[in-house]
Amino acid sequence: MRIREISVKYIRSDIPLNEGERFANSRQVYESFKNLILEPVEVFRVVLLDSKNHFLHFEDISRGSLSTSIVHPREVFWSAVHHRAAAIICLHNHPSGDPAPSREDRDCTDRICKAGQVLGIKVLDHIVVGEKDYYSFADSGILGEII
């Protein structure tokens, strides 16, 4: 079997990402980045914010396999330090469509939160993007337990 045609589809976010915009809640972050579910592999993304939680920049940190992505705090915070971010929001997708966090997701979030404390950069949330919904560590109260 041969591939005869490949198409690329651009989907614009419902919430435009302009520098200086402020995210009010996890739903708004999810709505801005829900197209992450279209990725065929796990992608870990970091959203950088200033001291008033205004959007500065976002960057993909890691592209993994169907069920895992290697993420090291060094890579997560390199971009945050470079852009002088005061806070970050982490996101990654689950290509399976199920946003429930895995044990590895919890461990990764724990490492990132601890590194953020050392660097003085707040980790406001880690959002797992699923097909029709998302999971927010902050909304679930788990982020506070980790820190």
Q: Give the DSSP H or E segment for 106.
A: helix 103-119
- 8 within a domain of the structure (yes/no): no
Mean pLDDT is lowest, of 30-39, 65-74, 116-125, for 65-74
Structure tokens at 147: 């820190």
- 83 within a domain of the structure (yes/no): yes
Q: What is the pLDDT at residue 147?
A: 40
Of residues 117 and 67, the one with the higher pLDDT is 117
What is the number of domains present in the chain? 1
Q: Is the pTM of this model over 0.85?
A: no
DSSP 97: S
- 13 within a domain of the structure (yes/no): no
Is residue 84 packed enough to be buried (19+ CB in 10 Å), middle (13-18) or exposed (0-12)?
exposed
Write out the residue range of the structural domain in which residue 74 sits. Answer: 26-146
The number of residues in the chain equals: 147
- 21 within a domain of the structure (yes/no): no
CATH code, domain with 54? 3.40.140.10
Q: What is the pLDDT at residue 19?
A: 75
Phi-psi domain of 13 (left: phi exceeds 0; alpha: psi -120 through 50; beta: other): beta
- 11 within a domain of the structure (yes/no): no
35-89 confidence digits (pLDDT tens): 999 999 999 999 999 999 999 999 999 998 666 667 889 999 999 999 999 999 9
